[in-house]
């Protein structure tokens, strides 16, 4: 199986002064972060604090109303295609095509990305026995494992994972933790949101609710 390594590059993913609004409300403001190759950034905070919103900003699916996000000092908005090519994102939705088999779903993803190893993704999340099964027959946990198998199947220096352990059993959580450790050992960067304990190695912890206030929440409300 192919190995993806970013050890020759020292990358930095950072942001300064981020302000995010959702539904006319300031979700967080003046948020900064910095994470380098081989490190994980753990996003924590109560439901609604903005963890998913921040991840959407990080992958370029939304834009902040203030501040900037940068890769090696270059704003990601300056070259969104290049930023998309360097990341793998797993959100709340598994984005699995029910008419394709497990292996075909991964192959479709690898073809879209232009590089990767289907066998590596299947092996990492114990999907080899299910390779020829139509995705419509998968359980919720199996669908989640298939969604996560994409990050192992295709190379990307930056992994953005939004509550990735939802519906996973203990063995699958352990497989995810091992995949993250391997990615960090190869010089990758991981940003992960979670309200449960995930075995990350010496993560940088970012509490999203440290960047919210009553004043922020009322900026666009009635006087």
Domains defined along the chain, listed by start: 12-218 (3.40.50.300)
Decide: 181 and 211 in contact? Cβ < 8 Å.
no
- Number of other residues whose CB lies within 10 A of the CB of residue 47: 7
The string of pLDDT tens digits covering residues 151-177 is 999 999 999 999 999 999 999 999 999
Please give the model's pTM, rounded to 2 decimal places.
0.91
Q: Compute, in degrees rounded to 10, the torsion defined by CA atoms 89, 90, 91, 92.
A: 180
Q: What is the per-residue pLDDT across 27-78, written as a single tens digit (0 to 9) for each?
A: 999 999 999 999 999 999 998 899 999 999 999 999 999 999 999 999 999 9
At 197, is the pLDDT very low, low, confident or very high (cuts 50, 70, 90)? confident
């Amino acid at each position: 199986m192919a190995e993806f390594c970013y050890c020759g590059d020292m990358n930095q993913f950072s942001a300064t002064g981020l302000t995010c609004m959702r539904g006319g409300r300031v979700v967080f403001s003046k948020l900064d972060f910095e994470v380098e190759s081989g490190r994980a950034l753990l996003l924590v905070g109560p439901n609604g604090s903005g963890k998913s919103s921040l991840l959407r900003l990080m992958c370029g699916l939304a834009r902040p109303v203030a501040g900037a996000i940068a890769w090696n000092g270059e704003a990601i908005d300056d070259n969104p295609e290049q930023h998309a090519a360097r990341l793998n994102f797993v959100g709340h939705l598994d984005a699995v095509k029910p008419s394709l088999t497990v292996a075909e779903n991964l192959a479709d993803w690898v073809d879209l990305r232009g590089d990767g190893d289907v066998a590596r993704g299947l092996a990492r999340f114990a999907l080899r026995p299910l390779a020829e099964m139509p995705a419509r027959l998968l359980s919720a946990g199996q669908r989640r494992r298939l969604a996560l198998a994409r990050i192992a199947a295709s190379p990307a220096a930056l992994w953005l994972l939004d509550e990735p352990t939802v519906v996973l059993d203990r063995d699958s959580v352990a497989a995810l933790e091992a995949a993250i450790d391997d990615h960090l050992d190869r010089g990758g960067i991981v940003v992960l949101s979670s309200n449960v304990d995930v075995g990350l190695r010496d993560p940088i912890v970012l509490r999203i609710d440290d960047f919210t206030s009553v004043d922020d929440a009322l900026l666009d409300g009635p006087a």
